Chains A and B, each alone.
Chain A
Amino acid sequence: MQKQNNAVNKLHSEIMERSGQDFYNCIQCGKCTAGCPVLSAMDLHPREVLLYLQLGQEEKLLSSKTPWICASCFTCGARCIKNLDLSRIMEAIRVKILRPRGAACLSPGEIPKEQLEKLPQQALVSGFRKYTR
C-alpha cells in the first residue's frame, strides 16, 4: 500500500512539475470545458481532469482518452479565470505515457495510404510529435 501511494505521489508531482501548473488553484468552474471544441469525443471533461488531479486519482487520467483527443488549441487556457494552462497538463499526461522506451500511440503503418498522400506535411510532423517520442 505504501509503495502504491509513493508511486501515485510521484506521478502527482511529475505532472505538476512538467506542466508548471498548480492544479490546486482550479475552482472547478467549468469555463475550460464550456469552450473546448472537441469535448463531445472526450471521456473525461477538461474540468474533471483537474478534479482527479486534486483528488490524487491520477491513475484515472492515464487510462483516459481525453489527453489524446485534446487538440492543443489553447482555448481552455485563454478562458480559465485562474490562469491555468490545461494544454500543458494534457501534454504532461501524454509524455508520462510516451516517454518510456518503445511507447508510441501512432505508427506510420496505421495511416491509410490515400490519407497519407493527401495530408499536409504539417499534419504528419505535428501528429508524430504529439503521439510519439
Chain B
Amino acid sequence: MSYLYFPGCTLKDKAASAMEKTALMAAAELGLPLEEIDEWQCCGAVYPLTEDELITLVSPSRTIFAAKDRPVVTLCSACYHVLKRTRQRLAADKDARDKISSYLEEEYPGETPVLHYLELLRDELGWDALKEKVKMPLEGRRLAAYYGCMLLRPAEEMAFDNPERPRIMEDFLQALGAEVITFPFRTKCCGAYLAVTEKQVMEDASNNIVKMALEYGAEELTTSCPLCRYNLEQTPAVKEGKIKVSFFSEPLAEALNLEVQEVTN
C-alpha cells in the first residue's frame, strides 16, 4: 500500500529540502511509497493551546479530512506534532469535531492514523530489514540523535516514544551501522520560535545542547525538525565546524548509497 505524505511549509524551502529529497528517495528504495497529498495546506506549525480556539485547527483538520482513513506520514517534527494532536482532538472532542466538520462541509472520516517517517521504518519495515538494506554502513561515525520537544511531548497525546528515555532514533542510527552517542540533553528544547523574537535566549538554549553533545563525543547531531536544525546551527561550535547537524534522512540516504552529493544543499 502507499502512504499519504504531508510535506508542510518548510520542506519545500531551499534549506530544508534535503530532508524531503533524501527521505523520498530512501522510501522508494525501501518499498514504502509516499504519495503527496493534493493541495495540502500548512499545518500552522504550532498546536493551539487554548480550549476555545478552533479556527487554527481548521487547516490541520483539512489534512485529516482529506486523508479519509489512509495513514498520513510526515517528516517534520512540527507537522507531526500538530497533525497528531489535531487528530487526537477530533477523535475525542465531539463538539470541536462537529463544528469543524460543519465549517468544512465534510463528513468526519474517522480516525486517520498520523505517522512519523521513523515510525514507518520501525513498524512497517523493522530495524532488521532496514539493516539488511544498508549498503554503506556508517561505521565509526559518532552520530547522536536530537529529539527536541515536538515528537515526544505531551506524551499522552503524541504516544511516540518514552518522553524521557526515547530510543527510536538511536535504534535507527544503529541500524545504519553508526556508533550511536546517547547524550543527556537530547530531549531538551532548542529555543524554538524564540529564534524570531529572543535570539539570545534561543542561542543559549541551543548552545547548552550542542556543548553537551560535544562533551559526549558526538561528531554529528541528527534531527527531524527544520527549526531545531536551524537553531542548533547558530551556535559557535557548529559555525566553527566542531560538530555538524543533519536531517535524519541524510545519513539514511548515505547508508543506502543514494547519490548523496546531488541531494544535499
A residues neighboring B (CB under 8 Å): 17-20, 37-38, 40-41, 68-69, 71-75, 77-78, 85, 87-88, 90-92, 95, 105-106, 111, 115, 118-127, 129-131
Shortest B226–chain A CB gap in Å is 5
Contacts of A40 in B (CB 8 A): 204
Q: Is B194 an interface residue (CB 8 A)?
A: yes
Q: Is B9 an interface residue (CB 8 A)?
A: yes
Chain B residue with Cβ nearest A65? B198
Indicate if the CB atoms of B188 and A37 lie closer than 8 Å.
yes
Indicate if the CB atoms of A18 and B10 lie closer than 8 Å.
no
Q: Is B149 an interface residue (CB 8 A)?
A: yes
Per-residue A-contact encoding for B220-243, CB less than 8 Å = 1, 0 else: 000001110010000000000000
Indicate if the CB atoms of A78 and B197 lie closer than 8 Å.
no
Alpha-carbon distance A124/B8, docked complex (angstroms)? 13
Q: Is B44 an interface residue (CB 8 A)?
A: yes
Q: Tell which of A19, A77, A106 touches B196, judged by Cβ atoms closer than 8 Å.
A: A106
Indicate if the CB atoms of B193 and A126 lie closer than 8 Å.
yes
Alpha-carbon distance A123/B206, docked complex (angstroms)? 15
Indicate if the CB atoms of A122 and B76 lie closer than 8 Å.
yes
Per-residue A-contact encoding for B100-144, CB less than 8 Å = 1, 0 else: 000000000000000000000000000000000000000000000
Chain A residue with Cβ nearest B195? A123
Central interface residue in B8, B44, B201, by most chain A CB within 10 Å: B201
Indicate if the CB atoms of B46 and A72 lie closer than 8 Å.
yes
Contacts of A74 in B (CB 8 A): 149, 153-154
Shortest A22–chain B CB gap in Å is 13
Contacts of A123 in B (CB 8 A): 193, 195-196, 227, 230
Q: Tell which of A73, A106, A118 touches B192, judged by Cβ atoms closer than 8 Å.
A: A73
Q: Tell which of B51, B199, B227 touches A122, judged by Cβ atoms closer than 8 Å.
A: B227
Central interface residue in B78, B163, B189, by most chain A CB within 10 Å: B189
Indicate if the CB atoms of A69 and B198 lie closer than 8 Å.
yes
23 cross-chain CB contacts under 8 A:
A18-B50, A18-B52, A20-B51, A37-B191, A41-B200, A71-B192, A72-B46, A74-B153, A75-B153, A75-B188, A88-B50, A90-B49, A92-B49, A111-B196, A121-B9, A122-B78, A123-B227, A125-B42, A125-B44, A126-B45, A126-B196, A129-B46, A131-B196
Alpha-carbon distance A126/B16, docked complex (angstroms)? 16
Given known contacts A18-B51, A71-B193, A129 and B44 CB-to-CB distance under 8 angstroms: yes
A-B contact count (CB 8 A): 131
Q: Tell which of B153, B188, B196, B225 touches A119, judged by Cβ atoms closer than 8 Å.
A: B196
Indicate if the CB atoms of B50 and A91 lie closer than 8 Å.
yes
Alpha-carbon distance A115/B56, docked complex (angstroms)? 26
Q: Number of B residues contacting the other chain (C-beta, 8 Å)?
A: 45
B residues neighboring A (CB under 8 Å): 8-10, 13, 15-16, 42, 44-46, 48-53, 56, 76, 78, 149, 153-155, 163-164, 188-189, 191-201, 204-205, 208, 225-227, 230
Contacts of B192 in A (CB 8 A): 71-73, 126
Chain B residue with Cβ nearest A38? B201
Contacts of B189 in A (CB 8 A): 37-38, 71, 73, 75
Contacts of A115 in B (CB 8 A): 199
Shortest B102–chain A CB gap in Å is 23
Q: Tell which of A41, A95, A105 touches B53, judged by Cβ atoms closer than 8 Å.
A: A95
Chain A residue with Cβ nearest B153? A74
Shortest B69–chain A CB gap in Å is 28
Alpha-carbon distance A115/B193, docked complex (angstroms)? 13
Indicate if the CB atoms of B56 and A129 lie closer than 8 Å.
yes
**Extra 19 A-B pairs, beta carbons < 8 Å, given A38-B201, A85-B154, A105-B197:** A17-B51, A37-B188, A38-B189, A38-B194, A38-B205, A41-B200, A68-B197, A71-B205, A72-B192, A74-B149, A77-B154, A106-B197, A115-B199, A120-B10, A122-B8, A122-B45, A123-B196, A127-B193, A127-B195
